[in-house]
């Protein structure tokens, strides 16, 4: 599944999501267009995704990330690293 955030018809932010039943969903790709970065677009997209996954009763969200982006997910979006 692909989630898209639009503003005035333009694609602002997008995420690819793989849902594996109610156990987990994987978000291997999230991107925001250059002109819209640092404006909360990704946060709005992730909030909508979180609400959708909550409605689907998905227990875990997996965000494969390179080491350099882990602080973004853990500090800005309050995700936690798996043990």
**What contacts 75, CB < 8 A, 6 or more positions away?**
none
Residues 51 and 82: their CA atoms lie apart, in Å, by 21
Instruction: Note the pLDDT tens digit of each residue in 5-17.
Output: 999 889 999 999 9
Do the domain assignments include residue 82? no
For the segment 39-57, what is each residue's pLDDT rounded down to a tens digit? Answer: 888 889 989 999 999 999 9
9 within domain boundaries: yes
Q: What is the CATH number of the domain that holds 14?
A: 3.40.630.30
CA separation for the pair 83, 81 (Å, rounded): 6
Partner residues linked to 15 by β-bridges: 3, 30
Residue 43: give the domain boundaries. Answer: 2-76
Please tell me whether the overall predicted TM-score, pTM, comes out greater than 0.85 for this model.
no
Report the domain count for the chain.
Answer: 1
**pLDDT per residue as tens digits for the range 17-44:** 999 999 999 998 888 998 888 888 888 9
Distances in Å between the Cα of 38 and the Cα atoms of 13, 19, 24, 54 are 12, 27, 28, 26
């Amino acid at each position: 599944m692909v989630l898209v955030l639009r503003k005035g018809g333009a694609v602002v932010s997008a995420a690819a999501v793989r849902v594996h039943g109610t156990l987990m969903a994987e978000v291997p790709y999230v991107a925001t267009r250059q002109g819209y970065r640092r404006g909360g677009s990704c946060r709005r997209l992730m909030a909508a995704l979180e609400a959708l996954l909550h409605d689907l009763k998905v227990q875990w969200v997996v965000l494969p990330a390179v080491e350099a982006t882990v602080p973004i997910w853990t500090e800005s979006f309050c995700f936690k690293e798996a043990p």
